[in-house]
Amino acid sequence: MTVHEGASVVRLRGDLGEDSAPGLAQALATAMTQGASRTVVDLSEAQFADSSVLHALLDARNAHKAAGVALVLAGPLQVAVHRLFEVTGTAAAFRMTDSLKTALTC
């Protein structure tokens, strides 16, 4: 996690599965407490994500909302990651942008 332009940024890379979800959940919980007005999850380098990662993101969305901290997902999303949100019908549950730059300013 890094802080960039007043936002906590969590970057995800590669194939993300069950082994990645606990670390992601911890990173998102830590980001929420850093005092920034938003947490940005940069998914642009994630090649694949499974339902355990989606579950961690949904839990983080709820926690961020309760804390008054925006959670924004930044792309562009790879096909497999985009498909996860599309097939599960969860895309509308998140604020998504097409780039990290846009996510930092929206």
Q: What is the pLDDT of residues 64-75, one digit of tens each?
A: 999 999 999 999
Q: Bridge partners of 39?
A: 8, 71
- Does the pLDDT value for residue 61 go beyond 90? yes
- Does the pLDDT value for residue 1 go beyond 90? no
Model pLDDT for residues 12-60, shown as the tens digit of each residue: 999 999 999 999 999 999 999 998 999 999 999 999 999 999 999 999 9
| Cα 39 to Cα 19: distance, rounded to the nearest angstrom | 22
Task: Give the residue-averaged pLDDT of 81-93.
Answer: 97
Q: Of 3 and 21, which is predicted with more confidence?
A: 21
| Cα 35 to Cα 52: distance, rounded to the nearest angstrom | 27
